[in-house]
């Protein structure tokens, strides 16, 4: 019934009950580095705060420097472009990779110690991910 009928009218002119039965195709743009940075900083319960509070339960103060946050966003955007674009979920995997050893070490630290995640640490922890993503293009 609806095939070819929209050269004169729009789907929004139809009854709502019929609108929901038509397939809708939307093309989305991938998240940019700036979008990922905003996701890391703007929400109240963002991923960085969750990690900070998680280590706070062990009595360890965790802080992320501004350049580390920018680097996390840059690496996540780069991995989305080169490996597979999974959107903001990439931030979770990147932060998980960075925090992997820190989480285990925090259990044995004394209460009140401070951990600082800086750009150097981010690059160090993600270097092997970047190398393996480069090699994944050549494996059949």
Q: Report H helices in 3-137.
A: 16-19, 33-41, 47-56, 66-82, 89-106, 119-136
Q: Are strands 114-117 and 61-64 parallel, antiparallel or unpaired?
A: parallel
Predicted pLDDT at 64: 96
Nearest to 117 by CA among 94, 87, 134, 133: 94
Q: What is the pLDDT along the chain (140 residues), one digit of tens a residue?
A: 555 555 666 767 777 777 777 777 777 788 999 999 999 999 999 999 999 999 999 999 999 999 999 999 999 999 998 888 899 999 999 999 999 989 888 888 888 999 999 999 999 999 887 766 555 555 54
Bridge partners (DSSP) of residue 63 are: 116
Predicted pLDDT at 30: 87
Residue entry with tokens 């991995």: 79
Look up the pTM and report it.
0.75
């Amino acid at each position: 019934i609806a095939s070819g009928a929209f050269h004169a009218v729009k789907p929004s002119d139809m009854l709502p009950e019929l609108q929901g039965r038509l397939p809708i195709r939307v093309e989305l743009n991938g998240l940019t580095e700036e979008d990922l940075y905003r996701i890391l900083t703007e929400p109240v319960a963002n991923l960085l705060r969750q990690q900070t509070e998680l280590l706070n339960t062990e009595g360890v103060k965790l802080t992320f420097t501004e350049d580390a946050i920018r680097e996390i966003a840059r690496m996540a955007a780069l991995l989305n472009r080169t490996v597979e674009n999974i959107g903001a979920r990439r931030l979770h995997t990147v932060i998980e990779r960075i925090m992997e050893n820190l989480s285990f070490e925090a259990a044995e630290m004394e209460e009140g110690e401070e951990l600082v995640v800086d750009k150097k640490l981010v690059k160090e922890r993600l270097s092997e991910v970047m190398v393996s993503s480069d090699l994944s293009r050549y494996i059949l």
